[in-house]
Amino acid sequence: MSLISRRSFLTVSVAGQALGLAACGGGSAGSPPAPAPLPAPAPAPVPPAPIPPPTATPAPPPAAADWNLGPALYLVANGQVSLDLATSLPSGYAKGGVFGVDASGTPLPAGLTLTPAGLLSAEPGASLGSLAGLVFSYQEP
């Protein structure tokens, strides 16, 4: 059995280590390896969408104006043949619109007619009876 001297053992060990380094590129005399590239910076976060200013609440439609034709209808019922409702419109309404009888009220009694221009007419000698609940409508031009 042969004995290896300590010096021989260390020489073989160091040589083996050097071969291992050369195999992985660690012991070469060339230029050092290039550094790894830096990671790309993370993109900036997208800013939140701007909050739009609050919109103004639209004004509610004006309340229906009272349109009282009591005395005028009394004249029609007592023999006057026609009445122009356009002359009786409440202030602030534009003239030239379309008149009608609103479905929420009672219909015109027999013998009484209303044109879209607002001419309310009674046939001569018509018995009109009660006009309670009659509701007129008007569409501005």
Q: For 27-54, how does the pLDDT look when each residue is reduced to its tens digit (9 = 90+)? A: 555 666 777 777 777 788 888 888 877 7
The answer as to whether 76 is a domain residue is yes
Q: What are the helix (H) ranges across the chain?
A: 6-23, 70-77
Q: Is the pLDDT of residue 87 over 80?
A: yes
The answer as to whether 103 is a domain residue is yes
The answer as to whether 23 is a domain residue is no
Q: Is the pLDDT of residue 113 over 80?
A: yes
Q: Is the pLDDT of residue 105 over 80?
A: yes
The answer as to whether 98 is a domain residue is yes
* Residue from 106, 115, 123 nearest 86 by CA: 115
The answer as to whether 15 is a domain residue is no
pLDDT in tens, 53-74: 777 776 665 555 566 665 555 5
Please state the domain count of the chain: 1
The answer as to whether 12 is a domain residue is no
The predicted pLDDT at position 41 comes to: 79
- 5 C-beta neighbours (distance < 10 Å), count: 8
The answer as to whether 121 is a domain residue is yes
What's the mean pLDDT in 89-95? 82
The answer as to whether 102 is a domain residue is yes
pTM of the model as a whole: 0.47
